[in-house]
Structure 1
Amino acid sequence: MNAISTPFGFSSTAAEVAAGVDLTGRRAVVTGASSGLGAETARVLATTGAEVTLAVRDVEAGERVAKDITAATGNQEVRVVPLDLTDQASVAAFAAAWQGPLHVLVNNAGVMASPEQYTEQGWELQFATNHLGHFALATGLHGALAADGFARVVVVSSTGHQRSPVVWDDVNFAFRPYDPWLAYGQSKTANVLFAVEATRRWAEDNITANALMPGAIYTNLQRHTGGRGSGRVPADLIKTVEQGAATSVLLATSPQLDGVGGRYFTDCNETEVVDRRSGTLHGVARYAVDPDNARRLWTLSEELLAQAV
């Protein structure tokens, strides 16, 4: 299986990646599209002619972004629908209300290194938001994705996944001391594993899913980590929002990704599998692309969601 290599890289912007792509008549959903990477991803998808739905918690902010996107692109098919990934009723309502096929689902929303919090089901907040909410959304929209015939799911993960595998016996930190970065890492590993198993399970429906590391970008995601002053990433590795959205847009639109799934990308290219923490923003941990782990996570996720009903 050859790694996917593209003409794009670290400095490429989402607009450059999407240049010449025509998605007229296609439909896309972007979660967390009221700011940051989600807003830019939605904007560039709108330039391709796609109908774009901004799935957001803050509807007022989403409406402002949608208005700006329409003004900038001329695309009148930009809409806003409420979605709270920590609320299973909200996720179910979104999926139930969707009608017709869906070509692209971008699982972009997320939280990072948040203080210890739990949902009403007892789920650790980052695992619940970053993985379980998106898992429920994607499975709820499976029929719409299958109806397209060539649908793609784009999963925004992070190099932070190298901080922790899924700790099967204690995903919700019931026994081990809570650590915000380990919780974040576990949730981002789950994102990659979802892409692996969704591609396998939904192969007959021609649905593919790929995960990505967008890069280091200053957005609202850093609200719990000190933002620009944290110094966690060297200045020369920081991307603009336009550059940060490039890999998401590539996975959503590039003809090179036709029929390709279950892989992990950084800087618009598939990255290498690593057996030790890489110390860079590249590399995907072997445990995050392990098919047995992926199947186990899918089963666990189904069980957790079933218990929440």
Structure 2
Amino acid sequence: MSTLTTPFGFSSTAAEVAADIDLTGRRAIVTGASSGIGAETARTLADRGAEVVLAVRDMAAGERVAKEITAATGNRAVRIAPLDLTDPASVTSFVAAWQGPLHILVNNAGVMACPERHTPQGWEWQFATNHMGHFALATGLHGALAAGAARIVALSSTGHQRSPVVFDDIHFAFRPYDPWLAYAQSKTANVLFAVEATRRWAADGITANALMPGAIRTNLQRHVGGSSGQVAPDQLKSVEQGAATSVLLATSSLLDGVGGRYFDDCNEAEVVDRRTGTLHGVARYAVDPENARRLWTVSEALLADAR
């Protein structure tokens, strides 16, 4: 399987990668679309003609963004819907309200390096938000995704290189809590989800890919003082650049039939066997099919216990 390359790169913007694409008649959901690269992803999809649902926790912020998108694009098929990814009941309600096919699902929402916290189900907060909520959303919407021969876009991070999913202690019941290790395993889970979703659902016309958007100053860094980490200024991206890889995976014909892969800077990343110390590369454990199958089974069991 050859590595997929595109004409786009680090400096490309979401508008540039979608410039020649017509999404009229396509329906999209973007989680966490009330700010940052989620809002820019939604705006670009709407600009290209898609019907876009902003799935957000903060409805007031979502409403403001939806109005801004409509004003900027002229697309009136932009709406908001409440979604709290840490609450299985909220995900169930969102899924129950969805009708008809879904063509694009962008799992964009996330938290990073937050203080130790657990959901009522006992799930570690970052794993619950970044992985379990999106897992429940995608599996709940499977019928709609199949009807739309959909693409799923899973936002991961180069931070996944800090830790695999620690299956024997996912929720830090025994280990001392470390916010960065918790974040890392949740981002590894995002990649593994894309691998296994593609394996299970490709026959339904559904593909899923994961990505590293780059270092962008957004609300994601609110628990770490607004920092994007030890990133050189010339490696920081604008919000428009940060949304480019998401939009590419969601819309480009170059990705037709392609799934289970990890991208950064609009190109497929190299598989690596040790931390790169850069913003590039995907750890081998994050694209390992056996790890992906195991995570899916564990996630199904956690959801079943939560009901």
SS at match of 2:119: coil
Question: CA–CA distance in 1 between the matches of 2:214 and 2:224?
Answer: 16
Residue of structure 1 in register with 2:253 after alignment: 255
Distance in 2 between residues matched to 1:12 and 1:52, nearest whole Å: 22
Q: Which portions of structure 1, spanning 4 or more consecutive aligned residues, are displaced by more than 2 angstroms?
A: none
Letter in 2 for 1:305: L
* Equivalent pairs, count: 307
Paired position in structure 2 for 1:289: 287
* Pair 1:243 & 2:241 matched: yes
Q: Which residue of 2 aligns with 1:175?
A: 174
Deviation at 1:40, TM superposition (A): 0.2
1:308 aligns to 2:299 (yes or no):
no
In structure 2, the partner of 1:213 is: 212
1:121 is displaced (CA, Å) by 0.4
> Equivalents in 1 of 2:4, 2:213: separation in Å?
16
Could you report, residue by residue, the CA deviation over 1:160-191 in whole angstroms, capped at 9, with x for unpaired residues? Answer: 00000000100000000000000000000000
Aligned to 1:155: 154
* Paired residue secondary structure (1:224): helix
Q: Partner residue of 2:195? A: 196
Query: CA separation in 2, counterparts of 1:255 and 1:204?
Result: 18
Report the Cα offset of residue 117 of structure 1.
0.3
The CA distance in 1 between the partners of 2:266 and 2:224, in whole Å, is: 26
> What corresponds to 2:111 in structure 1?
111
The answer for the alignment partner of 2:164 in structure 1 is: 165
SS at 2:135 equivalent:
helix
Structure 1 stretches lacking a partner, 5+ long: none
**Cα distance in 1 between the residues matched to 2:257 and 2:295:** 23
Partner-residue secondary structure (3-state), 1:30: strand
Question: 1:279 and 1:287 mapped to 2: Cα distance?
Answer: 17
* Paired residue secondary structure (2:29): strand
Q: Which residue of 2 aligns with 1:223?
A: 222
TM-score normalised to structure 1 length? 0.99
User: How far is 1:145 from its partner?
Assistant: 0.3
> How many percent identity over aligned positions?
80
- Cα 1:231–1:299 shift into 2, 3 Å: closer
1:236 and 1:176 mapped to 2: Cα distance? 36
3-state SS of 1:277 partner: coil
What amino acid is the match of 1:176? R
Q: TM-score, normalised by structure 2?
A: 0.99
Structure 2 letter corresponding to 1:121: Q
| One-letter identity of the residue aligned with 1:198 | A
Report how far residue 3 of structure 1 moved: 0.8
Displacement of 1:198 in angstroms is 0.1
Work out whether 1:277 is the aligned partner of 2:275. Answer: yes
The answer for unaligned runs of 5 or more in structure 2 is: none
2:15 corresponds in structure 1 to: 15
1:231: how far off?
Answer: 5.1
The letter of the residue matching 2:7 is: P
Per-residue CA shift, 1:251-288, capped at 9, x if unaligned? 00000000000000000000100000011100000000
Superposed CA deviations along residues 181-216 of structure 1, whole A, max 9, x for unmatched, are 000000000000000000000011010000000000
Q: Deviations over 1:205-249 (max 9, x none)?
A: 010000000000000000011214x65211110000000000000
**Distance (Å, rounded) in 1 between the aligned partners of 2:81 and 2:226:** 28
Residues 77-123 of structure 1: per-residue CA shift (max 9 Å, x gap): 00000000001000000011100000000000000000000000010
- Amino acid of the residue matched to residue 28 of structure 1? A
